[in-house]
Every structure is written in structure tokens, then in C-alpha cells.
Amino acid sequence: MRITGSRRAKTEGFTRTDLLAAVAVSTVLAAVAWIPATMAREKAGLERCLGNLREVNRACAQFAAEHDQTLPGPVESPGEFQWFYKEQVKSYAGLRGASSAQDSLFACPADRGYTDPKPFHQSDRFDFGSYPFNGVLLPGVPNIAGWRLSEIREPARTLQVMEWTAHGPLSWHRSRTGRRNAPFYNDAESVVGFVDGHAALIPIHHDGFNAAYTRDPVPGYAYRYSGR
């Protein structure tokens, strides 16, 4: 049967419209499926990070138990103590041998690094870890490096190990800056571990000028850097 020009155009027009509609529906369905999948990955990453900090906290506690109730403190090492404390506690977490990027216990899955073009836990400069100890050894900066546990007034509020973002503050889990590492902002949420052993995702105070780790927060926050 011969198809007239008008019928051919009508048939072809329907086909194009149908195709466009199908593409649009597929795009919407893909977007709808992507959102919960992304949320599930982010939730799993957060849970893993919380679990990591609990285990690292436990390793620090075991170290203290075998060192006269004294937390890790400065020793001769190739890098800054807040990162290389890992060398003192990692055996209590079941790690043996040289530190490496395979040390998943010390790696936050959302770690995006800062000045380097790779995550902290992939760099030997940070002893392959995402979680510094509360031990920045600068004049006037609060820390608990080498403290005896009995000296710490509020173990449930005193930070022990934390995501690097708590130094900013920024957030690797609920970021207001996306993948960007600037600017620091108030109430950015970080996963942190406390001296009493618990870990939590909490907001970190920023006064608009100074890095968070340089001083304790104003009243109303659930943490402190200083031991007393």
C-alpha cells in the first residue's frame, strides 16, 4: 500500500515525539534512582567513618593502658605529631608493618584532601591517615598530647581523634561547599572521637577568623580541644 506524504509525515512525527518522550521519562527515572543510591552511599560512608573513629579511639585507650595511663605524645618522627601518632597506636588496631594507603581503618571514605591533589589517607606526608590526633604542637594551641587520662577534666567532651575537617572547619559528609575546600564556615559537621571512646558527627564552631583547632568553642557546643 502506498503511504501518502501527509500520512508519512504524521507517522514519522509520532515516532520522533515518542522517542523524545521515552528519553525524557528515562532521564527522570534515572534521576529518581540516582538520588536514593547517592544517599545510601553517603550514609554508608558516614557509618564507616564513625566505626573507624571508634576503633582508633579504642587503640588510643589501649596504648594509654600500657603506658601508665598516658596518651600518645611527641616522639622523634618524620612528620607532625598530630598525624604520626598513628605509629604509636596502630599496632593496637591490628596493623603491622609500615603505614600505607591500604590502612583503611585510618581512611575516611569521603576524604577529599586539602592543599594536596589527593586525600590525606593516600599521602605519606600525613602518615596515610584522615584522622589527626588532638595534638597540634603550636604555642597557645590547646591539645592533649602526652596527657595522663586523669588530667582530662571532661573525657566525654574532649576531642581525641577527628577528621581533619574539624580543624577548619569544613565537612566531608554534609558539605555546604560541595567538593571545594573553602571557605571555612560555622557549624560545619565533622566526625570526631572523644577521650571517653564515643564518636559522633557534630557541628564545629568557627568564629569567622581563626581555624577551629586554635581555641575551644563558645558555650553550647558538645566538644573542646583543651583538656581542662
**Alpha helix (H) residue ranges in 66-99:** 81-84, 86-89
C-alpha 3: how far from chain center: 65
91-143 pLDDT per residue, tens: 999 999 999 999 999 999 999 999 999 999 999 999 999 999 999 999 999 99
Residues 6+ away with beta carbon under 8 Å from 157: 194, 222, 223, 224
Please determine, for residue 219, whether its predicted confidence score (pLDDT) is greater than 50. yes
- Cα gap 52→106, rounded to integer Å: 7
What pTM was estimated for this model as a whole? 0.83
Domain boundaries in the chain? 52-214
- Cα gap 193→144, rounded to integer Å: 13
pLDDT at 34: 45
Q: How confident is the model at residue 217 (pLDDT cuts 50, 70, 90)?
A: very high
